[in-house]
Amino acid sequence: MILRLDFKPEGMKLLRVEIEAEDGFASRVQVRGDFFAHPEELFEEAEEALGGSPIAELPDRAFDLFSRPGLSLHGVDAAAIAATLRKALDANPLP
Amino acid sequence: MRIRFLDTGPNPAAFNMAFDETVLEGIARGDTQPTLRLYSWKPAAISVGYFQGLREEIDLAACERLGVDAVRRATGGGAVLHDAEVTYSLVVPEGHELAPPDILESYRLICAGIVEGLALLGVEAAFAPINDIVAGGKKVSGNAQTRKKGVLLQHGTLLLDVDVEKMFTLLLVPQEKLKGRLIADVKQRVTGLRGLLGREVGYREAAGALASGFSSAWGADLVQAEPEAAEVEGAHRLAEAKYATEAWKFKR
């Protein structure tokens, strides 16, 4: 199943998260929005690295991955992404 | 400082985005000089930021109906309607005096040219971090930057006029955003040269002022040139192979 949620964390851009979930694991995670991330590739690597995570661990893993040194974020930060993912999971309880 | 200066005029969206990347690749290879390009869009187009979902930001049926192109940029930021505007791109290697390591600082240095160009048109404007320029309390220019292969690409707009109704016909407005940003609000926050000066300002006049502003603010000698034939061909190829493809447009 696919979980989607739009959320605007305080002081951040509107974030749109999409989680493809299967058997308690995330097969794909995407964080979309009008923010900036430098370099863009590092942001996408962090998204890809979330694939395969147990759903319940997604927010914490996302926080770590998007906090990586070398990734510079404007209009979004790791805490905002983690919070948006958490909201998406809370809003869509999995069986 | 010498900077190659191109004015390629109006072109389709995919070509415009591809040309910027072609110059970036040329500089990365070491066979292209630092380049400032002015351009516009024909047909009008909406570009979305690199991290946006094109389908969730743009009403593609409305674009089709109104003959407006849609394209994904290589740079982050939000959706922009490119209609009545002068667009610029600056491509320089990292380490160039306009491309210091600090991103905000490079925005400030590069955008100083737009502030100066506006002053030449009689508009008092200021850089508003991280990437806007405001005049009379309203945004008149938005800018976006990426860095790849040791090269900085920054492109941005100088609005000649703003059609907020058309903008909102083409953009899908999410419920959450709607609360904070109604159409009336955008009219209060965004303006163009026509609104600021109370008269029509055409591409040629604005482009001339912008070029002079960049030259003056950067202390740069702008060397007017025609694009290389190979570069134009490369941009056409890249437009077809990347920017015009469904895979790129809908990659997010």
Give the closest of A6, A30, A72 to B174, CB-based: A6
Give the model confidence (pLDDT) of B61-94 as tens digits: 999 999 999 999 999 999 999 999 999 999 999 9
- Give the per-residue pLDDT at A71: 97
Cβ-defined contact of A74 to B76 (cutoff 8 Å): yes
Q: Print the domain residue range for A63.
A: 2-91
- Cβ atoms of B201 and B160 closer than 8 Å: yes
Determine the residue of chain B that is closest to A44 in CA distance: B51
- Give the per-residue pLDDT at B173: 79
- Give the per-residue pLDDT at B179: 44
The two three-digit tokens of residue A8, written as one number: 């605007």
- Give the per-residue pLDDT at B177: 55
Length of chain A: 95
Cβ-defined contact of B79 to A31 (cutoff 8 Å): no
Q: Which residues of B touch A30 (CB under 8 A)?
A: 252
Q: Block means of pLDDT (10 residues each) for chain A, length 95 residues?
A: 93 95 95 97 98 96 97 97 96 70
Q: What's the structural domain count of chain A? A: 1
Average confidence (pLDDT) over B43-53: 98
Give the closest of B76, B77, B252 to A30, CB-based: B252
Helix, strand, coil tally for chain B in percent (to 5): 40, 30, 30
Mean pLDDT of all residues belonging to chain B: 95
Q: State how far the Cα of B40 lies from the Cα of B242, in Å rounded to an integer.
A: 20
Average confidence (pLDDT) over B26-37: 97
For an interface test with A, the pick among B51, B107, B108, B252 (most A C-beta atoms closer than 10 Å) comes out as B51
**Whose structure tokens read 């509107």?**
A14
Per-residue b or e along B51-90, where b marks 16 or more CB atoms closer than 10 Å to that residue's CB: bbbbeebbbeebbeeeebbbbbbbbbbbbbbbbbbbbbbb
Q: Which residues of A touch B49 (CB under 8 A)?
A: 34-36
pLDDT over 90 percentage in chain B:
91
Pairing of strands A36-38, A72-74: antiparallel
Count CB neighbours of B36 within 10 A: 26
Give the model confidence (pLDDT) of B185-202 as tens digits: 889 999 999 999 999 999
Cβ-defined contact of A35 to B51 (cutoff 8 Å): yes
Give the model confidence (pLDDT) of B92-117 as tens digits: 999 999 999 999 999 999 999 999 99
Cβ-defined contact of A38 to B52 (cutoff 8 Å): no
Q: Which residues of A touch B146 (CB under 8 A)?
A: 38-40
Give the closest of B74, B176, B252 to A6, CB-based: B176
Domain boundaries, chain B: 2-249
CATH number of B2-249: 3.30.930.10
Strand order in the sheet with B45-48: B69-72, B45-48, B80-82
Give the model confidence (pLDDT) of B127-181 as tens digits: 999 999 999 999 999 999 999 999 999 999 999 999 988 998 898 876 545 644 6
Q: Look up the CATH number of the domain holding residue A74.
A: 3.30.390.50
ipTM for the predicted complex: 0.96
Checking if the pLDDT of B12 tops 80, the result is yes
Determine the residue of chain A that is closest to B175 in CA distance: A6
Cβ-defined contact of B176 to A8 (cutoff 8 Å): yes
Determine the residue of chain A that is closest to B75 in CA distance: A36
Q: State how far the Cα of A91 lies from the Cα of A77, in Å rounded to an integer.
A: 21
Q: Determine the distance in angstroms separating the CA of A62 from the nearest CA of chain B, rounded to an integer.
A: 16
Q: State how far the Cα of B7 lies from the Cα of B53, in Å rounded to an integer.
A: 30
**What pTM was estimated for this model as a whole?**
0.95
Checking if the pLDDT of B27 tops 90, the result is yes
Determine the residue of chain A that is closest to B78 in CA distance: A34
Q: State how far the Cα of B143 lies from the Cα of B152, in Å rounded to an integer.
A: 13
